[in-house]
Amino acid sequence: MRTSAAPTREATVWTPRDAADLYGLEAWGGGYFGVSDRGTVVAHPHASSEQAIDLLEVVRGLEARDLVSPVVLRFDDILAHRMGHLRRAFDEAIADAGYEGGYTCVYPIKVNQQRHICEVVRHVGGALGFGLEAGSKPELLAGLALTEGHDDMLFICNGFKDQEFVETVILAAKMGRRIMPVVEQVHELELIAASARRHEVTPLFGIRAKLAAGGVGRWADSAGFRGKFGLSVPQLLAAVDRLRELELLDGLRMLHCHIGSQIFDIRTFKYAVSELAHLYVELVRLGAPMGVLDLGGGLGVDYDGSQSARDSSVNYTLAEYAADMVHRIQAICDDAGVAHPDIVTESGRALVAHSGVLVFQVLGTRVFPEQPDEALVRRAVEEGGDETPQPLLDLVDAWERLEAGADPIEVYHDAEHALSEGMSLFSLGYMTITARAAAEEIYWAIGAAVLREDPDELPEEFADLPDRLGDLYFSNFSLFQSLIDAWGIDQVFPIMPIHRLGERPTRRGVLADITCDSDGRIDRFAGDGDTESTLPLHELRPGGNGGPAGVFEPYYLAVFLTGAYQETLGDLHNLFGDTHAVHVVAEPDGGWALSEVVEGDTVRDVLRYVQYDPTEMRRRLRKEIESAVAGKRLTLPEAVSMRRFLDQGLDGYTYLE
């Protein structure tokens, strides 16, 4: 791993173009984000520079509407463009190959269940021939409501099913819906058969196969013999025999598999689709009518911009993926003399990830000194006199050698040893707190000098130095609510400031959220084709307006590609609730507008989630306030202030305002 160093301070002119390169924006942005000449991040809703929506302008516009950060910006036009991009990739692959089947994508509702997102998918997908996928009863009911009036929209139902689930699907099909349950477990065949008999229909359904081909990455166990879902090959054979006995074999129209999420290596898809296509032609030979091959999900996103086969990236393009899938299926079906099936993919992450951006404000920093406090050091030495601890004297000597031009790495080695000895003396009671404070100041300053060195010249042993000495930027968001994958699976998301990009960043730091949890920090960042442990940032400027950042001017950071999974997987750690979310759309005149505003949780909302009654809480606390006034523990103005905080607090945002 390349060691992160503080951004250099050469005299060369810094431009917003340099900032785009520094943060790798073009590598991970997919054409949807850029940097303006004003030094702000802009969104290109149609992956074209012809139209640009300034993120800082949007955030300030929201603040004028009394919607403060943290806020999720949802760009509906980006979602629509991603859907069209996937459609075009398969259409071109099918046309180039002379493939005789069709293609559709079904959006897995689980990827982002938010109603407004799903409505965009339905609206745009209706014109593109796309559909929906559900994996639970709530998602089934949501999907049925979403597709009301869109009977021809394909609706695939995966996941565990009971009689009620299956019956609902069968009746929806009888109503005219194009809905297809997928058999995930053997007993679900009997549930389908029972419902079919009860309602006198021959339902159309699919079966999920458990492939021998394994997945890769974090979700590798989704495939393989020990996968959670699907029928093994022996079970597939038994299922065909059972369907023949039940006179339901004519209803078997689809074969499905799923090999995991965020598949980063195209070879994994190739192996899986080859096995799946061979299973498909065998089912046709056994007498099943078939017609549809569902390749499942897994289409990944290049979060770190490296275009490589690793967890936070992918080594293929949409066009390559589509062409490979079409070619493999076509070749195997042609060899077997089987008609080309319609192809279905369950691509969710690749559709919605780019459309979501989380924006939040930095509240303050903890910065290690680049110069020791001379007054503190002098005081510590004078207080110690002849008994000044040797480790402190060694650190003073190390700093003087550094100022005289000694090698910073050699000096740091000496400083590290001296500090270690000093900590031991302090623990034994032989070093005062003043001496310890001075020792730490000198050590940190020497470490900062090392970080200013050329990172390519630093030994591997210094790889963790940025983690130990980098700045800490306290930020107004909850990692557990808004970026749960960054905590749970070490997912790397692209992060950068949305303004001041015309200034060279002079600091490097990690981000800390406002939860009372030491895990609430981000210390893995996309950058320079590799994952880095610190992020280039700007110094905070004094002159705040009393908002969340207090005495500092607002400094906004954004986390990109958050549209998939993050909103619905987030939890209520410390009772920080859902953030505000707004749907930003491009206007024909080049401007932007808000098509939807979804206000975040209030304190009252999250208290109700955990079974508190805010009305009763308010009554009890007001009673205690009055008791404090009667007992002269609070003055009347103090009581009024306390009641005001109580009333406003219950109806306020869960984040700092």
DSSP annotation of 200: T
* φ/ψ of residue 422, rounded to 5: -65, -40
Within 268-369, strands assigned E span 292-294, 342-345, 356-366
Strand, coil or helix: 512:
strand
In angstroms, what CA-CA distances link 318 with 77, 134, 266?
A: 19, 24, 10
pLDDT given at position 566? 95
In angstroms, what CA-CA distances link 404 with 6, 392, 408?
A: 22, 19, 11
Spatial distance between the Cα atoms of 61 and 648, rounded to a whole number of angstroms: 23
Spatial distance between the Cα atoms of 258 and 110, rounded to a whole number of angstroms: 15
DSSP annotation of 225: T
pLDDT given at position 224? 56
Find tokens 């032989």 and name the residue: 430
Spatial distance between the Cα atoms of 184 and 54, rounded to a whole number of angstroms: 46
pLDDT given at position 72? 98
Query: Measured in whole angstroms, how far is the alpha carbon of residue 535 from the centre of its chain?
Result: 17
Within 50-173, strands assigned E span 53-54, 71-75, 103-108, 131-134, 155-157
pLDDT given at position 405? 86
DSSP annotation of 310: S
Which residues of the chain are under the pLDDT cut of 50? 1-6, 9, 219
Spatial distance between the Cα atoms of 319 and 321, rounded to a whole number of angstroms: 5
Spatial distance between the Cα atoms of 144 and 171, rounded to a whole number of angstroms: 11
Contact predicate 87/347, CB 8 Å: no
Spatial distance between the Cα atoms of 523 and 508, rounded to a whole number of angstroms: 11
Strand, coil or helix: 632:
coil
Query: What is the pTM assigned to this prediction?
Result: 0.92
Q: Which amino acid is at 563?
A: G
pLDDT given at position 546? 60
Whether the upstream peptide bond of residue 70 has omega within 30° of 0, thus cis, is: yes
Residue 547 CB contacts under 8 Å (≥ 6 apart), including other chains: 68, 361, 554, 657
**Residue 261: both structure tokens together:** 């999420």
Strand, coil or helix: 1:
coil
pLDDT given at position 1? 30
